[in-house]
């Protein structure tokens, strides 16, 4: 049995930017609680990861260096929620 090469399917890896590279929509840059499905079907939970979420296409962007650090390169993000949602909402309304 062979797994697909790392990098064949996973979340987009790019430096965190102000705008979504796909649709140019503004990214929500904050910290996220995330779940990753690894190639061996195990789940990895990572909390308070800094990242950017596109409001439009719901793509999560995480710094590639951080992905490497957490050894998530082969994983696929299956779940992400803003860990400081309340703070973020206050920031938007200001
Ligand atoms: Zn987008």
Give per-residue pLDDT as tens, 80-94: 888 866 554 555 554
What are the strands, taking DSSP E only, across the chain? 27-37, 43-54, 60-62, 76-82
Q: How far is the CA of 27 from the centre of ligand 1 (A)?
A: 8
Total number of domains constituting the chain: 1
78 lies in some domain: yes
**Confidence band (pLDDT; 50, 70, 90) for 37?**
very high
Read off the pLDDT of residues 41-82 as tens digits, 9 standing for 90 and up: 999 999 999 999 888 888 888 888 999 999 999 999 898 888
Threshold 0.85, pTM exceeds: no
CA of 39 to the centre of ligand 1 (A): 26
> Mean pLDDT in the chain?
79
Going from the Cα of 1 to the center of ligand 1, the distance in angstroms, rounded, reads 35
Q: Tell whether 1 is covered by a domain.
A: no
How many angstroms from the chain centroid is the CA of residue 7?
15
Domain ranges, residue 31 = 27-93
CA of 83 to the centre of ligand 1 (A): 20
State the distance from the centre of ligand 1 to the C-alpha of 23, rounded, in angstroms: 4
Look at the block and give the residue holding tokens 């840059």. Answer: 29
């Amino acid at each position: 049995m062979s797994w697909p090469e790392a990098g064949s399917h996973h979340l987009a890896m790019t430096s965190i930017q102000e705008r979504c590279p796909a649709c140019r929509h503004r990214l929500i840059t904050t910290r996220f609680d995330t779940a990753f499905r690894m190639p061996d079907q195990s789940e990895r939970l990572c909390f308070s990861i800094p990242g950017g979420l596109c409001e439009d296409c719901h793509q999560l962007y995480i710094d590639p260096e951080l992905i490497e650090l957490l050894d998530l390169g082969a994983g696929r993000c299956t779940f992400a929620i803003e860990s400081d949602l309340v703070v973020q909402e206050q920031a938007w309304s200001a």
